[in-house]
Amino acid sequence: MSETDIRIDIRNLVVDYGDVRAVDDVSLSVGRGELVTLLGPSGCGKTTTLRSVAGLEDPTGGSIALNGTLVYSAPERRNTPAEKRGVSMVFQSYAIWPHMTVFDNVAYGLRVRRMSANDIRSNVMRVLDLVQMRNFADRPASRLSGGQQQRVAVARAIAFSPEVLLFDEPLSNLDAKLRVSMRVELRELQKGLGITALYVTHDQEEALAISDRVIVMNAGRIEQIGTPEDIYRHPRTLFVADFVGNANVIQGQARGAPVGGEVNFVTVGGPVLRAAAGHAQAKGDAAALQAAYVDIFAPGRTDVPNATPGTIHRCMFHGDFIQYVVDWPCGQLLVRRPPTNRFAEGSAVTVSFAPEHCVVL
Amino acid sequence: MNTAVERRGPDRRLGRFLVVPGILATIGLLVIYPVFFLVTESLNVGVSGTFPPEDIGFGNYQDMVSDTQVLWNTAFVAVLATVMAIGFGLLLAWILTRTAIPGRRRLERLMELPYYMTPLVGALAWGVIAAPKTGLANQLGRLLGANGNFLNIYSAWGIAWVMALFEGTVAFVMISAAMKSMDPSMEESARVLGAGKFRVALTVTLPMILPGIVSATIFVFAEMLSAFAAAFVLGIPSRFIVITTVIWQSTSAYPPEYGRAAAMGLCLFVVLAVAIGLARLVLRKGSYATITGKAFRPRPMRLGARAWPMVTVCWAYLTLAVFLPMAALLMTSFQKFATVIVGDMRFTLDNYASVFRQGAVASALTNSFVLGLGVATVGSLLVGVLTWVIFRARVPARSLVEYVVMFPQAVPRLVFGLGLLWAWLWIGQVLPFTLYGTLWILGLAYLTVLLPLGVRTLAGVVLQIDKSLEECARVCGASWSHQMRTVTLPLMRPGIAAAWLLIFISSVRELGASLFLMGPHSKVIGPAIVDAWLTASSELSAAMALVQTGVVFVAVIFLLRVTRRYSGEPA
């Protein structure tokens, strides 16, 4: 993306809470109309980073620019207050004001901006339409279900047409079913309105599904930035491999120079696998293999890549898929297969996977 | 990630840094300055009441320690009353949180009544009921042929009994809070693992609620040590003297022994402060139950027919603490001479006529009412600001503000009044106007001693306001003042209303601090009732006490109505 298209630009951000460094030298940028997710376990600094963009934290160092304007800068001793940044935010708790109606909640940002009553009315109704809450406009906000509060929170956040929208785990308080459908709606809304969004979540599935790019954070630092598929298929660190998807981590050592992007990987358990060489700084002492990329065949198959003998140790039916625990020379291997692909516990099998899916870390 | 980080306060940096010193200076002047005078006076062994003292020494403290009778009396009454109060509290808390008795919810609400009645009114009422010879119960006993003095409330036991009845509610609230904060699944899992009911109670329930009970016991004991009303009303007639009554006597004696009073007051203050600290410590260190801060309602035991003894216990407590005293006062207040012998009854409205017409009494009532309105209004607003600063603002040294604001709760009212008296007497010499002997000084004193009550009431409300509600307003573009106006204050309103009510009630019935601070032209109702009791008649003081209680009840009902309509909740 070109320089002018960058909407959020964070450089070397550091946030300290007393002696604890919550955010440690984080740099990232979000382009116009892009949805970028900060993904990580609790305490990894993702929410602190987001709140720093909103102006709700006092960072220690670095800089933050929104739409090309510096809103925080440690060297310039600048920290524009939240209300002057023009960003909007959806809070984890929704932060719906219980003493107002739905309409008043959504109109808040417009009233602060001193719009005319007519404009306020039409804008509020427009966004309530977008989130399908038009009929609830006059309802006291204290009488809404979780899902409805969620929608009102989103409507309120987009009502004053902010250029940048921040999401702080917006779906984490909904039940599983609603979470999945709201995920689709949020993505539709964001794409449709062309909003630039920074989105925080600890749910890797949500992050993969909703984002243009995912930023995996750990202990205040960025581990990896990439498209969802890139993050899933080519984890660069042990942490990313462990946190995203359901990867098996295989101990061993990469041998020789990569040929056509592949190397030999000598496992601790014995077998020599063909594996993707990984990135240039890879240490080479482990490889990551997503459970969904492993195939299981009847015993004795040799015409498939990385064919290795194994035994089905445990078989768990999940509905959408079956999860197998397979005993193989390198310990236990987690495998996810479609529910049509059945093997009994105890049966001998051959496991197989393409070299490109087994990534040296 | 969700580390508690306070939200941003006013953005003007200078303002931010001036807020705390400003508050500290103001509250410090109100709180610390009187205590400073207490300390100096307690060391004054020269001419009583001169400042600065000409002669300094520890004589006053030595006098206090050598007066073993008073110390013994105080300790005896306090221990006795504490044991009884905790007994009441424990029993009631267990019944009302752990058993399924009919009318439990109503009973739980009714348990607030003794709190609204106050120990002073309770002591008067029990004086009317069980004074030797003239007490209604003793009259009744004589009528039935028993010894006419079979009840004597003018004794250590009587004083302890009245104090325990009224402090029992406090113990009840504290202990039931501990019981409610225990997750019932803790007990259930022990049951599932095979432990019987008794074993569960002994190995799981008791250890979990023990810190709550211990902390309540310490707290109640400290309250008993510094209690004044019951010991005063019931102790003076029989010359049973405790430390608080000595403080009062030595200041009203001639020549006044201010130093002695100050030394005793300070010791009380130290004991109270240590006890409150200890109670908090026990609760914090020792409790596993309160960690989550959630309130649970354990599944209550079904008792069947055995529920009726429990119900009886609850109603018996309420009868002894509220209904019987009220009835006795009511009956007394309408008679010329209080009696239960129907033939001798002479009904009259004179007592009430005196309350409203007799200059001194009527003006005391008016003064108290005006003070209550004023102090409640100023106080609730002040408390609103203070609570927000303590729990929300991002300013340096917030916890110091909390300590200073909460400080007065460790100072017995009587002692605080004493300190304030000298402090303002002395400052009055340099001020161009007089404060002493006016309602202003009473107002200032009330405000100071009632701040902790207000802050405690509001703290819960403020802490419950999700920080993101305020943050969201800022992100939506609202300035700090706009956010305060549109979000924070509206959300705090029910809490501020509750604080207003509590401060109003406490002002109207204030006794300890008022005793020293009221002047001939600024009488208030609490001390006036005591005056009437000691110098006029029990009939008149009964009428006064009832009028005072009536004002409090009307205020409670009125405010409940208003807040209910306001919040639109069908509470």
pLDDT tens readout for residues B352-369: 888 888 777 888 888 999
Per-residue pLDDT at B14:
56
Percent of chain B past pLDDT 90, that is, above it, reads 14
Q: Please report, as a single letter, which amino acid is at residue B442.
A: L
Within 8 A of B563 by CB-CB distance, chain A residues are none
Q: Which of A145-159, B53-67, B116-130 has the lowest mean pLDDT?
A: B53-67
Question: Which chain A residue is nearest to residue B569, measuring alpha carbons?
Answer: A142
Does the beta carbon of A140 lie under 8 angstroms from any beta carbon of chain B? yes
> Which of A345-359, B86-100, B208-222, B519-533 has the highest mean predicted lDDT (pLDDT)?
A345-359
CA distance B454 to chain A (A): 23
* A56 contacts in chain B (CB < 8 Å): 7-8, 471, 474-475
Tell me the nearest-neighbour CA distance from A54 into chain B, angstroms: 7
Nearest chain A residue (CA) to B4: A17
How far apart CA B227 and CA B371 sit, in angstroms, is 23
DSSP-assigned beta bridge partners for residue A88? A165
% of chain A residues with pLDDT over 70: 99
Nearest CA in chain A to B8: A56
Residues of B in contact with A58 (CB under 8 A): 8
- Cα→Cα distances B290→B212, B299, B391, B551, Å: 9, 18, 20, 37
Q: Among partner residues B1, B3, B476, which is closest to A44 by beta-carbon distance?
A: B1
Q: Which of A45, A56, A112 is the closest to B1 by Cβ?
A: A45
What pLDDT, on a 0 to 100 scale, did the predictor assign at position B73?
92
Q: pLDDT value at position B299?
A: 66
Q: What is the pLDDT of residues A144-186, one digit of tens each?
A: 988 899 999 999 999 988 889 999 999 988 888 888 988 999 9
Interval A224-242 mean pLDDT:
93
Chain B residues with CB-CB distance to A89 below 8 A? 471-472, 475
| CA–CA min distance A158, chain B (Å) | 10
Query: Is there a contact between A56 and B474 if contact means CB atoms under 8 Å apart?
Result: yes
Amino acid of residue B114: P
Asked if A92's CB is within 8 angstroms of B468's CB, the reply is: yes
Number of Cβ within 10 Å of residue B416's Cβ equals 26
Contacts of A88 in chain B (CB under 8 A): 475-476
Closest residue by Cα to residue A198 from A225, A235, A236: A225
Report yes or no: A138 at the B interface, CB cutoff 8 Å.
no
In DSSP notation, B159-174 reads HHHHHHHHHHHHHHHH
Nearest to A109 among B2, B477, B487 (CB): B477
Whether residue B17 has pLDDT greater than 70: no
Tell whether A89 is within 8 A of chain B (Cβ): yes
Shortest Cα distance from A229 to chain B (angstroms)?
A: 26
- Cβ pair B243, B75 in contact under 8 A: no
Taking the CA of residue A108 and the nearest CA in chain B, the distance in Å comes to 7
Q: In a mutagenesis test of the A interface, which of B472, B474, B481 is the best target, namely the one with the most A β-carbons within 10 Å?
A: B472
DSSP string for residues in A235-257: --SHHHHHHSS-EEEEEEEEEEE
- Token pair listed for B335: 């008679």
d(CA A85, CA B476): 9
A87 reaches B (C-beta below 8 A): yes
pLDDT confidence band for B5 (50 / 70 / 90): very low
The tens digit of pLDDT for each residue in A14-27 reads 999 888 999 999 99
**In whole angstroms, what separates CA A163 from the centre of its chain?**
21
Alpha-carbon span B216 to B368, nearest angstrom: 32
Mean pLDDT, residues B124-147 taken together: 82
Q: Tokens standing for A207?
A: 């992050």
Assess whether pLDDT exceeds 90 at residue A13: yes
Of A48, A83, A108, the CB nearest to B1: A48
Q: How many CB atoms lie within 10 A of CB B13?
A: 8
pTM for the full predicted model: 0.78
- Mean pLDDT over residues B193-200, rounded? 82
Contact B478 A98 (CB under 8 A): no
Largest CA distance in chain B: 81
- Give B506→chain A minimum CA distance, Å: 30
> Which runs of consecutive H residues, i.e. helices, occur in chain A?
46-54, 102-112, 117-130, 146-159, 176-193, 204-210, 228-233, 238-243
Length of chain A: 361
Count Cβ atoms below 10 Å from residue B76 Cβ, excluding itself: 16
Question: Is A112 near chain B, with CB under 8 Å?
Answer: yes
Amino acid (1-letter code) at residue A316: M
Is some CB atom of chain B closer than 8 A to the CB atom of A171?
no
CB pair distance less than 8 Å for B475 and A86: no
Contact B471 A160 (CB under 8 A): no
Minimal C-alpha gap between A348 and chain B (Å): 41
Report the gap between the CA of A126 and the closest CA in chain B (Å).
18
User: Are residues A56 and B7, on separate chains, in Cβ contact within 8 Å?
Assistant: yes
Does the beta-carbon distance from B471 to A48 stay under 8 Å? no
Residues of A in Cβ contact (< 8 Å) with B15 = none
For B425-430, which contacts have Cβ atoms below 8 Å and span 24 or more sequence positions? B426/B37, B426/B51
Residue A78 near residue A70, CB atoms below 8 Å: yes
Looking at residue A222, what is its pLDDT?
96
What mean pLDDT do residues B50-65 have? 78
Token pair 């009317």: residue = B128
Distance between CA atoms of residues B262 and B255, nearest Å = 15
Find the CB nearest B479 among A55, A83, A85.
A83
By Cβ distance, the residue of B472, B478, B491 closest to A91 is B472
Cβ separation of A160 and B5 shorter than 8 Å? no
Measure the CA angle with vertex A86, ends B8 and A188; round to 5°. 115
The Cα of A209 is separated from the nearest Cα of chain B by a number of Å equal to 23
User: Using a CB-CB distance cutoff of 8 angstroms, which residues of chain B are in contact with residue A45?
Assistant: 1
| A84: closest chain B residue by CA | B477
Of A44, A58, A95, the CB nearest to B469: A95
CB contact under 8 A, B475 and A43: no
pLDDT digit string, tens, across residues A252-281: 999 888 888 889 999 988 888 999 988 877
- Position A293 pLDDT exceeds 90: yes
